[in-house]
Structures are given as C-alpha cells and as structure tokens.
Amino acid sequence: MSKTDRFLRACWGQEVDRTPVWLMRQAGRYLPEYRATRAKVSGFLELCQTPELACEVTLQPLRRFDLDAAILFSDILTVPHAMGMELDFLEGEGPVFRDPLREASDLRRLGQPDPEQDLRYVMDAVRLIRRELDGRVPLIGFAGSPWTLACYMIEGRGSRDFLHAKTWMYSDPESLEALLERLVLALTDYLHAQAAAGAQALMLFDTWGGTLTTSAYERFSLAPLQRVIAGLRATAEAKELPIILFSKGGGNWLERMAASGANVIGLDWTIDINVARTRLGKKIAVQGNLDPIALYGQAALLRAEIENILCANAGRPGHIFNLGHGITPQTPIDNVELLVETVHAWNGCSNDSVYEEY
C-alpha cells in the first residue's frame, strides 16, 4: 500500500496495512536543517512568504523520517495579515499584531483577501510542494479556526486568559460574530484555494476553542467552524477531501465536533483514545494523541507510551498517529525516529505496552 493511500484511507476510516503517522509542527526548530534555512532570511514571515523555502522546510522532515504525510509549512496568522493587520514575529515572543482589534469600529480596517493575490505565496508553495513530492506522500493544507484567529487579532498575541477577546464576547457578542463571519468567508476561500492548488487533505486548528464554556464554544467556535466546513463541502475541489478538526482542550465536546462535518477529529493528550472512539462512533476517524513532552523521555518509556495509544485504539481502522499538540523545539531527534519506527512496526498489544510496567 502506498503512503498516499495509507494516510487518505485512514482519514476515511478504511483498513490500512499499518497505522500512518505524521507530527504536528514536524517541520520546525528541532531540526538543524530548519534552523539553517531559517538563518537565510530576515524573519519567520519571510520564510513563509518565500515558496521555495517553504517547500524546502516542508520536505526536510520527510528526508529524515518515514512519515506518511507532509503538511504545508506556513502559519495560521497569514490570513489576518492578508486582511490588513500588521504582523511581526518577535524572537522570544512569537507572533504579535501591533494594532489589535478592540471594538466593533475596528472591523472597518479589515479587508477580504483574495487567496490567489493576497496569499499567492501560499498557493505557489502548495503547487511547488506537490510537484516536489511527486506522489510520495499526500500534502495536508491547513488554517486556524475563526475563533483562534479572532483571539490573536483581539489580544494582539498569545494569552493566558484571553481577557480582551472574552470581554468582547461577553459585552458585544453580535459584533464579535461579525468578525467571526468575516473570518469564515476568508478561511473558506483560503482553504478552497489550497485544495485547488493541490492540497490532498485539510486541517483546521482550533487552538483556543478549549478556553471557552460549552455554550460559548458552540456559538463562537463550533458554529463558525461548521460554516467553514460546509462551505468547503460545497466546492468541487474540496468536496471529497478529508477534513481534520483539532480543538486543543476539546475533549468535553467530542460529540459536537463529530457533527461539525469533519471526518477526522484530532485529539490532545488529555483523553484516552478508546474513550474518544467510543464517544465519536465508527464513522469518525481520529488523529493523535501522544503528549509531545513524552518525546523527551527514556526510550523504553516512550515506546510504552506509544504502544499504549496503539493498544487503546485496539486495531480499529481510522487512526492516524500524531502528537496531542505540536512538537517542541528541543525535542531529541532520535526519539522522533523511535516514534515513527515504533508506530510502523506495531503488530498488536503485548504485556510490554501497559502502564503497570513502570
């Protein structure tokens, strides 16, 4: 079975010859070749905006590891940047919007981007990556969720409590929904353009959905996500593509996520995969869910953690092995190799893969 078939069949819940594996942020700072490429440009945004370098960084982990999918190298904040918000990536701070949105009147500053013009560099990168991959593995395109992007646009940067975004939500929910609807339209166009350019699967990162109450999640995170997915399903290019939805901290709402229109639900490390599969039902595939920090541990314990997840899935079709969040910059490369090899070599549960061992 080819790697392309393996990953895509797993996304659709079909039988595969072995569990496919890829890693969120698999192209990144833990790789010395990434750091060398990054040093060639003035900043992270320039790296994203240079299709040849974005292609190179996308391919780097595939040269080291026997991964079953590539994911486009880009950033979720390219969309609000294309809407007119000034974006910087500051060393030691991460992404920063210097003039964040703070009230309804600020929405007048936002434009509606054309993906093939304002985000042409992303589409050119997708086309180039597909050509360079030459069918070896499938390419995943992605975007942030409307709520997650709104949080960054309102806070101006990452946050612990999302004071400004939540204050807006509780004081003027209608204008917040107006912002979210602009993002729904922009993200639907953006992901559709990625599909047209050659992405073979699409992923939505709802990084901050788990910060909300249940009612707020349904209104401000899930409902906009459903509209994005419905919009994609209405297009010829994206209608048949698998869509992966990942909500960090979203374990409370798995059943609601299953009704979103996505056919793969990404799991963080806080929920047992067996419990998640029972709640999601047979029609939904899952992706996950190793704690990224387990990659810092002893090889024997790391292997046991990996095998426990595989055993919890119990051989059911529709499982894509991944981390429960993105790989971190100091991750030992040898342990990434061990992860990929262990997943591909796994052939059933044994007494060596239970927590009681240690």
297 is in an annotated binding site: no
34 is in an annotated binding site: no
| Cα-Cα-Cα-Cα dihedral sign, residues 344, 347, 353, 354 | positive
Q: Tell me if residue 38 is catalytic.
A: yes
358 is in an annotated binding site: no
Q: Tell me if residue 75 is catalytic.
A: yes
195 is in an annotated binding site: no
Kindly give the interhelix angle for 146-155 and 223-233, rounded to the nearest 10 degrees.
130
Catalytic residue, candidates 5, 18, 29, 316: 29
Q: Tell me if residue 152 is catalytic.
A: yes
What burial class does residue 176 get, using C-beta atoms within 10 Å of its C-beta: 0-12 exposed, 13-18 middle, 19+ buried? buried
Provide φ and ψ at 89, rounded to 5°: -115, 110
Catalytic residue, candidates 6, 9, 25, 277: 25
User: What size, in residues, is the chain?
Assistant: 358
66 is in an annotated binding site: no
Catalytic residue, candidates 38, 102, 120, 256: 38
277 is in an annotated binding site: no
Q: How many CB atoms lie within 10 A of CB 251?
A: 19
Tokens of 190: 């953006």
182 is in an annotated binding site: no
Kindly give the interhelix angle for 299-313 and 273-280, rounded to the nearest 10 degrees.
20
68 is in an annotated binding site: no
Determine contact, residues 286/272, Cβ cutoff 8 Å.
Answer: no
3-state SS, residue 236: coil
Determine contact, residues 67/22, Cβ cutoff 8 Å.
Answer: yes
Catalytic residue, candidates 9, 30, 124, 152: 152
CA–CA distance, 85 with 235 (Å, rounded to integer): 28
Q: How many CB atoms lie within 10 A of CB 358?
A: 9
Q: How many CB atoms lie within 10 A of CB 278?
A: 11
Residues 6+ apart with CB under 8 A from 252: 210, 214
3-state helix, strand, coil in the chain (%, to 5): 50, 10, 40
Catalytic residue, candidates 6, 30, 34, 75: 75
28 is in an annotated binding site: yes
CA–CA distance, 288 with 264 (Å, rounded to integer): 10
Helices (H), 15-160: 32-38, 44-48, 51-64, 78-82, 120-133, 146-155
CA–CA distance, 108 with 92 (Å, rounded to integer): 31
Residues annotated within the binding site are: 25-29, 75, 152, 207, 325
The residues carrying an active-site annotation are 25, 29, 38, 75, 152
Q: Which residues contribute to the annotated binding site for substrate?
A: 25-29, 75, 152, 207, 325
